[in-house]
Amino acid sequence: IVLLAVISLLPMRVFAKSDTPDIVFMTEEEAQYYAELYFSDDASLHSTGALSNTDLGIFESDGRIMVIYSTSASGEPSELGIKQIMLEEKDGFRWNVLAKYDKMSTTDSNIYTGGFYFLAPVSGRTYKASGIHFAVIDGREYTKYANTGGFIFP
């Protein structure tokens, strides 16, 4: 009973896309601009499979954290995008999920680019982004995991 009382007092964060605090999604144009600016051919995680390029980056921009993701496929996918994307903050030895979004995609292109800003990062804290890129080609789903590693906000 004591354990249940302690667990019930712990704060829980579960957010839907529209009610995540301090997250603002980029327009398509912004995401494409930053993807072209930050993801060079050398920085891309190239693949010889169905997913030709998968990029995920975390950057500082005007006192905010910027997360950008891009997925492209060789061939003609019926759907392409991010199966899941998360922004996490390190707290001691564990990572706390600040934002988590499922399945953002397109059905009319062989490239999908997107991004968002986290408006309330704390100086000196460590953040990371992780996600699963995906493409559906000829009825088969292809996936690739990506992780930015830790980024210490200045």
Query: What SS3 class is residue 4?
Result: helix
**pLDDT confidence of 38, banded at 50, 70, 90?**
confident
The predicted-structure confidence for 122-140, as pLDDT tens digits, reads as follows: 999 999 999 999 999 999 9
**pLDDT confidence of 19, banded at 50, 70, 90?**
low
* pLDDT exceeds cutoff 70 at 2: no
Token pair for 86: 């998360």
Residue 10 has what pLDDT?
43
* pLDDT exceeds cutoff 60 at 12: no
Contact 103, 83 (CB under 8 A): yes
In the Cβ-directed half-sphere of 49, how many Cα atoms lie within 13 Å? 14
Tally: H helices and E strands in the chain: 2, 10
* Greater pLDDT, 52 or 126: 126
pTM for the structure as a whole: 0.80
* pLDDT exceeds cutoff 90 at 14: no
The predicted-structure confidence for 63-94, as pLDDT tens digits, reads as follows: 999 999 999 998 889 999 999 999 999 999 99
Q: How many whole angstroms separate alpha carbon 71 and alpha carbon 105?
A: 10
Query: ∠ at Cα 141 (137, 142), nearest 5°?
Result: 95
Amino acid in position 49 = G
Token pair for 60: 């500082």
Give how far Cα 45 sits from Cα of 26, 40, 99, 106, 117, Å: 22, 10, 24, 20, 23
